[in-house]
Every structure is written in C-alpha cells, then in structure tokens.
Amino acid sequence: MPDRAFAYFEGKIVPLSEAKVSVVTHAFNYGTGCFEGIRGYWNEDDRQVYLFRAPEHFDRLRNSAKILRMEFPETTEQLCDLACQLIMLGEFREDCYIRPVVYKKDEKVGVRLHNLEAGLTMFAVPFGPYVDVDTGIRCGVSSWRRVDDNIAPARAKLTGIYVNSALAKTEAEENGFDEAIMLTDDGHVAEGSAENIFLVRRGQLITPPVSDNILEGITRDTVMQLAREDLGILVIERSIDRSELYIADEIFLCGTGAQISPVVEVDRRAVGKGVVGVITRQLQDIYFSVVRGKHAGYRRWCQPALRQDVPSKA
C-alpha cells in the first residue's frame, strides 16, 4: 500500500496502516459486510481528480447495508466529502479508487445478522486499469452459477458474495480465459465476476434485467444513458440465452473497475469478427470523456475532489 494513503476508520481519518480490525470481527469470519468501489479520475488539464457518480455509490452502499440489517449515520454528502478528504490527504494526482466498507464490527462468534453493530470504513488508493480496455478480452462461461436472490442477493454488494465471483474468476483464468461470464441458476446470462454485460445485436444493445441476479451497476446505468441519449441506440433489458453470446455482433463488460471492456471471444468462438466492435468503441470514447469530466453534458456526475489549486508539475 502507498505510504501516503489514508482511511476513515472509527470516525476519524488515520494513516491506512493504522486502520485495523481484530481477527474475531464478525464480518471477517462470516462475510457480513458490504462495500463499494468508486473511481477517481485525474484530469491533467483541470489539475483535478473527479469522483465519478459517488452519491449513487453511497446510496447503493446504504441499500446493501439495509439488506444486511445495518445503518450508518453519515449522510451521502458527508461520505462524498470524506472521500475527497482522503484523496486530498493522499495527494493523489493520478487515477485512484475509493473503497468504503460497512461491516458487522462486533467481536463475537455466532452467525446471524441481528443484534450486531455496524462499522464504516473507507480508504483511497491509486488505481489503474482493472481489465484490458484496448484489444479485447476472452471470456468463458463459468461452471459456477451466479448466486440467486433467495440465496444471497446479488443486487447487494456483499463481501461474502464475492466468493462466488472469486470461484468463477479463478476458474476462468486457469482455463486460459481473461474473465468469467456467469449464468443464473435457470441458465440465463447474468454478469461477469465483477462486471455487468451488454450484447449488441442488429444495432441494439441488450443487457440482462435487474431481476436476473445482477448487481444493479452504476456503469451499466451510465452506459444505458449514453447509448440512448448520445448515440440514439435502443437499449433493451431482457433475459439473455447462453447461445446468444455466440452469435452476438459485439459484447462488452462494464463496471467501475473494468470501465468498458470489449469481449472478442466467448467459449472459443469469435464475437462478431473477433475484434473490438464499432458501437463498443463509440461508447468507450464517450465514457472516457465523461468520467474524466471532459463532457460538458455530464459534469453533474463528476465531483471535484481537490479543493485548493494544484500547482503544475515543474
């Protein structure tokens, strides 16, 4: 971890190295926590780090916590402000990542949700690309099914659920793929290990509905808005069959970490012509200008994190 990284922990901002929990912590033992991942994008022209759609992430965090029967007193505005403070203190002049976590902090043995106290922590670290966004990735349909809403709700970003993602991701990489695509228990396409999925067929964008065991992704929502409003593309939310992956014209994965990651192969079948698709490239171009605060029409999604003027590099 970088020397200058900081965390919000037990109500105070401390050096990241001091933000520690006990091995007895309930969330550590039982996966009873929830989290978010928020990107901060460095804009060299503005000498500014823009937090992308931070309020939406903190609102989703509150919903995930509610599902785990946890509340926290900090308002979304306060949490956005804390995230900015962590970036300022870390003196980040680069892309970065904010990770808030709400967790059952009691040091008690016994699996349950009730009668346990919630803790909220948040840290900020420098962060580059998570998966390839240039040449396209190769995916495999996972033998691991996506968790069902009545098993562990995928719409809540719960720490424990990421075992499902980790099983799929490792299987995919060990089988020679870059990423996994997980199906629902009834065999429909759900999402990647940490990304939502879109297909292009006959010029239309298709993505699984929120009732098909997916995380209700903020990038997914961003992509849908950009496609409709800026490119005039029809976006359809409907269940997707596995075999549609094999005949799609284009496929991409999207998420805060993955951004927009083109998929050029699924289960050793080329997607379209096996190269990054035209619509995917168009969406990437708009997306990267939006997240860096360069698209005037979407500045409302970009919160400047640095308050004082940042001197130019010598």
Ligand X SMILES: Cc1ncc(COP(=O)(O)O)c(C=O)c1O
> Which CB atom, from 116 or from 194, has the smaller least distance to ligand X?
194
Residue 256 sits in the site that holds ligand X (CB under 6 A): yes
> Which CB atom, from 32 or from 196, has the smaller least distance to ligand X?
196
CA distance 92 to 174: 35
- Rule CB under 6 A: choose which of 82, 122, 181, 194 binds ligand X: 194
State which of positions 127-186 bind ligand X (CB under 6 A).
Answer: 165
- Reading the block at residue 133, the tokens are 């966004």
**Residue 77: HSE in the Cβ half-sphere, 13 Å Cα cutoff:** 0
Q: Measured from the CB of residue 257, what is the shortest distance to ligand X in angstroms?
A: 6
With contacts defined by CB under 6 A, name the span among 96-104, 122-130, 191-199, 296-304 that binds ligand X. 191-199
CA distance 123 to 101: 9
Residue 217 sits in the site that holds ligand X (CB under 6 A): yes
> Which CB atom, from 196 or from 261, has the smaller least distance to ligand X?
196
CA distance 85 to 213: 35
> Which CB atom, from 104 or from 169, has the smaller least distance to ligand X?
169
Sort 160 into a burial class: Cβ within 10 Å, 0-12 / 13-18 / 19+. middle
Q: Measured from the CB of residue 271, what is the shortest distance to ligand X in angstroms?
A: 19
- Rule CB under 6 A: choose which of 31, 40, 208, 255 binds ligand X: 255
Number of residues that bind ligand X (CB under 6 A): 13
Residue 218 sits in the site that holds ligand X (CB under 6 A): yes
With contacts defined by CB under 6 A, name the span among 76-84, 170-178, 211-219, 235-243 that binds ligand X. 211-219
Q: How far is CA 40 from CA 2, 118, 242, in A?
A: 16, 26, 34
Q: Measured from the CB of residue 256, what is the shortest distance to ligand X in angstroms?
A: 3
157 noted as active-site residue: yes
> Which CB atom, from 42 or from 287, has the smaller least distance to ligand X?
287
CA dihedral 165, 166, 169, 174 (to 10 degrees): -150
- Pick the closest to residue 52 from 224, 292, 212, 306 (CA basis): 292
Q: Measured from the CB of residue 158, what is the shortest distance to ligand X in angstroms?
A: 10
With contacts defined by CB under 6 A, name the span among 43-51, 78-86, 89-97, 218-226 that binds ligand X. 218-226
- Rule CB under 6 A: choose which of 15, 37, 55, 153 binds ligand X: 37
> Which CB atom, from 16 or from 215, has the smaller least distance to ligand X?
215
Q: What angle do CA 247, 248, 252 make, to 5 degrees?
A: 140
Residue 196 sits in the site that holds ligand X (CB under 6 A): yes
Residue 40 sits in the site that holds ligand X (CB under 6 A): no
Residue of 157, 273, 294, 313 marked active site: 157
* Residues making contact with ligand X (CB under 6 A): 37, 165, 191, 194-196, 215, 217-220, 255-256
Could you give the residue numbers annotated as active site?
Answer: 157
